[in-house]
Structure 1
């Protein structure tokens, strides 16, 4: 079969890498792809949000399955367009993907259906938001309603910081139309964990719990990023809490979306805080996480094509999903200045020195004059698996030491939170 992957980041490289392992896949295309993906697939110069061109390409090339990586095209209705064209595509419709593209909608659905989350209020008027913040006090969290590339969530330690966040989002327009509404919610304490699940709209099969590292610096310091690294499985989620996530969060969310006229098929991502009162939802996403996809797909043993076909045919309930024992770690190498302004075009050296059992997923790279150069804020995701988490960490960081580009920075503590936990790995 012929497969098209939409997107050009680390998550899409991991999807291409995993899909290529299926004996049923004969040819893979990626639009637009990147320098690393080009070694595994034919990269097509079509933007991930150019939906008419993607539909036309899939028709012309007789693509059997399209897999959507990023949230942008999902929110813009790529699945709806492909469905109208009679083309198989993995991902939720625009109405279902609104669980990610509108934080206001997501919070309202959670409130209506009793899904555990932080106390919150939503606002279209910055003055009213400011009044609520003064009443709520700090710390608190201010969120832009729409998509903001993972940067629309601002954790505020003081009332002044929260008021400034509202001004930046709603008055200054830092995130454009995504900031017309905001959510202001209580600050939850605990450890974050991500649980993704395959669903065909009825059956829900959760993946291993993973832990992303959002802040740019070690020790969870500095501004939020799109994700500086991840590992799986995450022992912070005990077997009991894993059951709670499935029964009190994931299954109710899928049922709620169906009841709201938004039937969901694809991967549903629950970003959670494990609090003293149990897991609570920070956010839902409508696709694979990035960088969580990298370690999760490295540990997945079941043919990904078979899982996706079971989702699309409504037969997921009878599909067994198998996992490789052990752990996997992804360390993101970022451009100097990221998540703020950064320069592109720096040559990357040392990739050929990385051992074959470590995979370097390209996130923001390009080819210039025969050389791989930086082309994004998050540049590479160095990913390794091991029988234990410390072994996976050691392999990943040893490979990181072989890679260099000007301004390169990364967190040196990916996975450290798990080392002090005695909870049994799932």
Structure 2
């Protein structure tokens, strides 16, 4: 009964428009201190101390320091000239095809994903540059916004990825292995998005084609060389074990700062305080959600939520593949109605316990969870990538939602491939770490 009331109160507060962190934390804290939930021998003072301890322990981790650092790197990248140079280089490679600029935007998003770890930051960085250009070339604003949103969603699948950092923190799974597992999935999704964008553009006559010349490839490649070096250095350092995830995040900040101020010279030092404040407000919101979710999870554990779920799952007698598909379907629904960080923090501690029944490696499951929630970023009503693109393209949520559906469909297909063919997620982690 307590568990049902906990979730009902949370969804009611979300529906009323309360911030996600408070919607998660207030019902949990209120029930913890309510009479009758815990034995009378447990004092109110002891319960209050427990709440404070859970709040603190929720964010007391060196690994979580990577979250604000990657947010800073994403903000610097957005205004440091990195995005435009990457788009120009990708356009020189694929601009000859129908919908070449759309494909170039997705390709640039894949490269930028190796710097920031944030889908919203990637969407803003690419969208601010490419959406106005796509509209000038004759792409419908809704389609341009949908393509950029889809490319931005890849930002949490291709490492480094803030949601993967959170998944590893909650489950004690190596974040580096999760990064390695997500790399090929992200590449597959990016190539799939390119194919869909080119197919739609060819059928409907969108965009302008640019003749392919090696001279243009060479000139844009030289201009983008330093920008392309960021994911190589950061991701290469993390996957090789030379640096930890947190050290890699600090390296990303330093490299983005170097390229933006010294190499590209498009980032002024006077802009840094504004960028830092803006990025850390977002990072602080994420950490606050994590702290509140820790209290929520503790109450769920005290009420034997995991045991009840296990009994329920066993009663259905599903085969491992059937259970996995059921969990993925549940995550798709959760991703549609709940903010990504909150969804991750609420469902992972419970669903991760089902990996033995699903007969799936925890690393593969972590990649599937993050991929699933990335799809949620492309679906209304809370898809963050859609909202960012809407704001840049000045289109309604309804219009972009219709335009993004073909991309969502192919993303679900890619996720199913990753679920049913384990080498896609497990080959690289096995090669590097096992």
TM-score by length of 1: 0.31
Higher relative contact order (CA 8 A, sep 6+): 2
TM-score by length of 2: 0.31
* Higher normalized strand content (fraction of residues): 1
Larger Rg: 2
* Higher normalized helix content (fraction of residues): 2
